[in-house]
Amino acid sequence: MSRKSLPIGIFDSGIGGLTVMQEVVRVLPGEDIIYLGDTARVPYGTKSRETVVKYALENAEFLVYRGIKLLVVACNTASAYALSELSARLSVPVVGVIEPGARMAVGITRTKKVGVIGTDGTIRSGAYFDAIKKIDSKVVVYLRTCPLFVPLAEEGWTDNQVALLTARVYLESFVEEGIDTLVLGCTHYPLLKRTIKRVLGEEVVLIDSAEATSHEVRRVLSEHRLLRTRQNRGRFKFFVTDSPQRFQEVGIRFFNAPIKARLVSIGN
Amino acid sequence: MSRKSLPIGIFDSGIGGLTVMQEVVRVLPGEDIIYLGDTARVPYGTKSRETVVKYALENAEFLVYRGIKLLVVACNTASAYALSELSARLSVPVVGVIEPGARMAVGITRTKKVGVIGTDGTIRSGAYFDAIKKIDSKVVVYLRTCPLFVPLAEEGWTDNQVALLTARVYLESFVEEGIDTLVLGCTHYPLLKRTIKRVLGEEVVLIDSAEATSHEVRRVLSEHRLLRTRQNRGRFKFFVTDSPQRFQEVGIRFFNAPIKARLVSIGN
């Protein structure tokens, strides 16, 4: 089997990475994809760098062992903490979600004031701040953690009063600061887009890193001459580290097709 | 060393069990205690029975290996899924948080209508329903999952508008159903007591299983002639599976004394 015909590997701490997979499928419909959701150890956003790096390496090892041509780290916290370690250790190219989102934000902002929201881990790591400053040091970056957005998205409370009130508390300072671009630095946040827009106004552009990442995946595959050229649609395999049931149920909100996941044991 | 002088072992998925430990210390100030918070794999409430049982057994093994005279499962989800398995496998007595809370609720209710709130796992397991019905089959039990209460408590949003609005959505049906007693079936929920009371009214009694459990611990120790009789105050040791920093910071909201925790590796 040629390397070209190997699948793309994607991992996330759980369900959120399905929004990234969805975009990759849209941009590269012919590619096979293996998705791993580490649902037994989700969430990563509140855990330490050491723990997240360990989990990320174990997840990557599982996918590489099955044979992949490129790894997508579809989790902002894992990208923030573990991307350089993964790139250094693996023989396949590795794409994270942070750099593509940062590049897109810098390309779009006119006021040079960019907001970034994410989990504790992602924000504390400084990864978005560094990535944006490296592309354009003149951009002013405003950071904010939004710990309740993930449980709200998983509860399906994305458009109710609780979501709106929570978004007001988290985001109102951005309005005064005058940002014109907001990076949704967590794969769960796109589900709250409408509510976020109600607080920030229609003129603020929301950057969904899933979209930016899918283009980066195509670029890297093309650069390595690993793009698959065929007419058939790709096949998908889903693996989870906790019972597939909840993943399959909640996954429908994140991925517009039925999901059949298999339970695997990782890190034991 | 006599068995009597061994410490009590307590484990929880994370921080919440500190409310149980606090009560045990109040009731049994002379006992030494080892606490284990499985912060690398928290939360348990959204995970499957198989996964929670596996984690519970690994946590128990860690504590038993260090030498304890009694094990407290200070996590409702772990008590719901793993208590019988733990009791069957361990040579020390095991106390969970569900049965004591259920017994207290049945003793207090006058209308024979009891509400129980908890995580997905705790409620779905049916453990509270079974425990209450076993004590008094005439009691009508109303169950409700409250997934957002844990993240609200950890964010420190226990008395604001978001907490109040969330509590209204979750609890309003209890008012119509006419319960006079509500079991807080998750160790995080006592932090939201004031907000819960604002929704349900002052006349509904809130059962904090931490309190009920501490009396059960004393009873079981006494029954096994394992109560420690000394004047000195006991010593505490804290272990966590993820970085101690966040546990120590957030732990202050749950345990009224400074915490110094040590990182250990479990299940690898």
A174-213 core/surface letters (b: 16 or more CB in 10 A; e: else): beeeebbbbbbbbbbbbbbeebbebbbeeebbbbbbbbbb
B75-91 residue pLDDT tens: 999 999 999 999 999 99
Separation between Cα atoms, residue B171 and residue B122, nearest integer Å: 17
Contact A152 B148 (CB under 8 A): yes
**ipTM surpasses 0.90:** no
Of residues B268 and B144, more confidence is placed in B144
The answer to whether A264 contacts chain B (CB < 8 Å) is no
Q: Answer whether B25's CB lies under 8 Å from B33's CB.
A: yes
Q: Answer whether B51's CB lies under 8 Å from A38's CB.
A: no
Question: For A3-96+211-263, which CATH class?
Answer: alpha beta
Q: Determine the pLDDT at residue A38.
A: 97
Question: B residues 135-154 near A, CB within 8 Å?
Answer: 147-148, 150-152, 154
Residues near B157 by beta carbon (within 8 Å), at least 6 away in sequence: A148, B163
A31-79 residue pLDDT tens: 999 999 999 999 999 999 999 999 999 999 999 999 999 999 999 999 9
Residues of B in contact with A241 (CB under 8 A): 51
The answer to whether B162 contacts chain A (CB < 8 Å) is yes
B230-249 residue pLDDT tens: 889 999 999 999 999 989 99
The answer to whether A169 contacts chain B (CB < 8 Å) is yes
Task: List every span in chain B annotated with CATH 3.40.50.1860.
Answer: 3-96+211-263, 99-209
Sheet holding B261-263: strands in order across? B94-96, B70-73, B8-12, B33-37, B236-240, B261-263
Residues of A in contact with B40 (CB under 8 A): 41, 47, 51
Sheet holding A205-208: strands in order across? A140-145, A113-118, A181-185, A205-208
B37-87 residue pLDDT tens: 999 999 999 999 999 999 999 999 999 999 999 999 999 999 999 999 999
Give DSSP secondary structure letters for B223-243.
HTT-----SSPP-EEEEESS-
Contact A48 B147 (CB under 8 A): no
Encoded amino acid at B209, one letter: S
CATH topology of domain A99-209: Rossmann fold (3.40.50)
Tell me which residue in B147, B155, B268 faces A267 most closely, judged by beta carbons: B268
Q: Determine the pLDDT at residue B1.
A: 66
Give DSSP secondary structure letters for A81-119.
HHHHHHHHH-SS-EEESHHHHHHHHHHH-SSSEEEEEE-
Compute, in degrees rounded to 10, the torsion defined by CA atoms A21, A25, A30, A36. Answer: 10
Contact A51 B242 (CB under 8 A): yes
- Mutation target to probe the A interface, by most A beta carbons within 10 A, among B15, B148, B263 is B148
Note the residue count of chain A.
268
Location of structure tokens 């929880």: B12
Location of structure tokens 């003793």: B107
A166-208 residue pLDDT tens: 999 999 999 999 999 999 999 999 999 999 999 999 999 999 9
Helices (H) and strands (E) in chain A, counts: 11, 10
Location of structure tokens 């760098």: A49
Q: Answer whether A74's CB lies under 8 Å from A49's CB.
A: no
Q: Determine the pLDDT at residue A250.
A: 86
Report in angstroms the alpha-carbon separations of A97 from A76, A216, A228, B76, B139: 6, 9, 22, 36, 52
